[in-house]
Amino acid sequence: MAEIVLATLNARYSHASLGLRYLHANLAELQDRAEIVEFVIGARTESIAETILSREPRLLGLGVYIWNVEETTRLVALLKRLAPELRIVLGGPEVSHEVNEQAICRMADHVITGTAEHEFAELCRQTLAWKAGQAPRPLTHVISGGRLEPADVTMPYSLYDDRDIAHRNLYVEASRGCPYRCEFCLSALDRTAVPFPLEPLLDELAILYKRGARRFRFVDRTFNLKIDTSLAILSFFLERIEAHPDDPCFAHFELVPDHLPERLREILPRFPAGSLQFEIGIQSWNTEVQALISRRQNNAKAEENLRWLREHTSANLHVDLIAGLPGETMASFGAGFDRLVALNPQEIQVGILKRLRGAPISRHTEAFDLRFNPSPPYNVVATRDIPFSGMQRLARFARYWELIGNSGRFSARLPELLGPQPFNRFMAFSDWIYARTDSTWRFSPERLAQLIDTWLISSSEIEFHHGTPQEPLHRRRQDSDSGHPAPGVAARRAG
């Protein structure tokens, strides 16, 4: 039994909720009266409700995100039918803005917007005291989160249990927030990145490592901005990797693309393959689009840094582009894709612009005729420059690219599949495969290989929908791909 239950629906089992653990860790004297219960999207709502109610909680805290808001809304509605006396508290980015417009917020007893560690703990104290007849009932429906003071926040990493360490990615943060103003992102509202005390963080990492943790994912938006901190954390991992080369360790970081000082360049080549992954957001190479969305990015430096990382390190590069930004045309997005392919990252994440609640991107809606899906994930479905049909093609392009370009299974075929104009050719292939199969799902690797080969043979008959058609391919590849994973965009350069 637990008087306080903290719950959320994660996108995958491998994801362990850092937010719930922060809330639990900062409950102070109430920690022993609380329990974390995690679920995965797709689970039956009735089963989730049964598990929660079996704990007989007085208060339920739910983490609400863009990927789980629909299912969590159904859960709250069911719980209010089954246990109307249960106090339900919502938190998370999806309910931190436009609160009055959301059914889930109207059904809940309380909504905490923004940072919630201390506010949730105080609400729990008031609620449990009220239940015991020792205090008046908490009346405030919407509670504004306070300013984060890292020195006053208890780190949550001891709450990762042995199963988390054995089977899941462990999420860590060295700083919270972002100093940039990119309007598609909720972090544009942060104004600054607030660092956590470094030495206590390193101590927590050491404890996790000693317990057997080997997969760490840092959620910092700008890991490489404060170089002293970056180097200290990288050195922490490198020392252990070099001391135990037969005991691999993996760390994921998000980098600012145009900031790679010499001190980072000195340490990064020392990491072996499979130990580092960098998520790098280019988002758009179009300088006019960058200006519109308040994104400061030195494209020349970003390009040089990506090239250097690819040629001089073994880090896996996962680089993001966003389709559908205001002012971005099909042609300019395609040119940006080609520019990125030429830099040879292992993965290119082609994302579709989403209207995150509270993000400043909404200010462009009228001027650029941005049409967003009213349902999660609120993806843009048409713009002034790209009609609905074009956005549909881009969405399919993104899906097929994930299956083929990023999977690592088709690296030998990719150079011929992409040719000298990668975007045009892969878009033509994407249009062809959809016309042939009427599907973007449930393709086995063998089926995809057959489709690629068929298209390569018949590609001289493909009429491209935009851009300059490629020279026809008269020759089928003589070599075949192995079934072993390989880098996604192109074969890794020797050395």
The beta-strand segments (E) located in 178-323 are: 193-195, 215-218, 250-255, 276-283, 316-323
pLDDT at 489 over 80: no
pLDDT in tens, 19-69: 999 999 999 999 999 999 999 999 999 999 999 999 999 999 999 999 999
Cα 189–106–8 angle (5° rounding)?
Answer: 65
Q: pLDDT tens across 7-16, in order?
A: 999 999 999 9
Summarised one tens digit per residue, pLDDT across range 120-130 is 999 999 999 98
CB < 8 Å & 24+ apart, contacts of 242-246: 242/270, 245/272
The residue whose two tokens read 């058609």 is 469
If pLDDT is split at 50, 70 and 90, which confidence band does 460 have?
A: low
pLDDT for the residue numbered 52: 99
Between helix 198-210 and helix 227-243 the angle, nearest 10°, is 20
Determine the 3-state secondary structure of 348 from DSSP: strand
Given a cut of 50, whether residue 393 has pLDDT beyond it is yes
Measured distance CA(44)–CA(49) in Å, rounded: 9
- C-alpha atoms less than 13 angstroms from C-alpha of 71 in its C-beta half-sphere: 22
Cis peptide before 377 (omega within 30 of 0): yes
Question: Residue 474: which pLDDT band, with cuts at 50, 70 and 90?
Answer: very low
In this prediction, residues 246-258 reach a mean pLDDT of 98
- pLDDT tens string 59-111: 999 999 999 999 999 999 999 999 999 999 999 999 999 999 999 999 999 99
Q: Is 405 exposed, middle or buried (0-12, 13-18, 19+ CB in 10 A)?
A: buried
Sequence-distant (≥ 6) Cβ neighbours of residue 210 within 8 angstroms: none
Residue 207, pLDDT score: 99
With tokens 């580092």, the residue in question is 276
- What is the pTM for the complete model shown? 0.90
Domains and CATH numbers, the chain: 4-147 (3.40.50.280), 160-385 (3.80.30.20), 387-495 (no CATH)
- Identify the three-state secondary structure at position 448: helix
- Give me the pLDDT at residue 147, please: 82
Task: Note the pLDDT of residue 463.
Answer: 43
**pLDDT tens column, 184-224:** 999 988 878 999 999 999 999 999 999 999 999 999 999 99
